[in-house]
Structure 1
Amino acid sequence: MENVKARLAPAKDKMSDFARRHEDKVQHGIEKAAKAVDDRTKHKYSDKIHAGTSKTKHAMDRLAHMEGPQAGGTTTATRPEGPPPAS
């Protein structure tokens, strides 16, 4: 398993870099795809599409804010999980 993780690390780093540089475009693409699917299904699955879109956006956000490999070949987020604190 560690061998697979080591081989996939460069791809994960490239995806993280791409997500960081094009974060707005990625988020817009996710929204556009969700709207197209929702329209094609005549809004029958709107709640499920919205939930999936939200999870996808959150995953892309986490990926965009990751640092490079740390000791042990793992990556860590540069900011805490969850919503930002209320001001």
Structure 2
Amino acid sequence: MGLLDNLKAKLAPAKDTAKEKVSGLAQHHGDKITHGLDKAAKVVDERTKGKYSDKIQSGTGKAKGAMDRLAHKSGPGAGDDTFTPPEGSPPAS
């Protein structure tokens, strides 16, 4: 077994513990996180004078979705660390 395999084996329990802690925090403070995301999006949108409203809204929605997946451990990608690119994305090189 190589050095990297040994490190992965030793860090796996810590990774699971960290996920559980983050999930618990997201469950307990989800409303505060959502409020903070909305507030930050509003400030950025005002400072950019609405120029990037669609991108800000999209990013805020994605952040809320990620927070929901952490809090509820449901939906696509919950429980695994793999990234699945959206359909139509160019293949990674």
Give yes or no for TM over 0.5.
yes
Equivalent residue for 2:15, pick from 5, 8, 11 = 8
Query: Which residue does the alignment assign to 1:25?
Result: 32
Matched, 1:47 2:54: yes
TM-score (norm 2): 0.65
Show structure 1 runs of 4+ deviating over 4 A: 1-5
- Counterparts of 2:62 and 2:12 in 1: how far apart (Å)? 23
1:41 is aligned with what amino acid? T
Matches of 2:51 and 2:22, distance apart in 1: 33
CA distance in 2, matches of 1:42, 1:22: 30
How many residues were matched structurally? 69
Quote the offset at 1:31 in angstroms. Answer: 0.4
Q: CA 1:48/1:7 → structure 2, altered by over 3 Å: closer, same or farther?
A: same
For residue 10 of structure 1, report the CA deviation from its aligned partner.
1.5
What root-mean-square deviation, in Å, do the aligned CA atoms of Structure 1 and Structure 2 show? 1.7
Tell me the TM-score normalized by structure 1.
0.69
The CA distance in 2 between the partners of 1:34 and 1:25, in whole Å, is: 14
Q: Percent identity?
A: 52
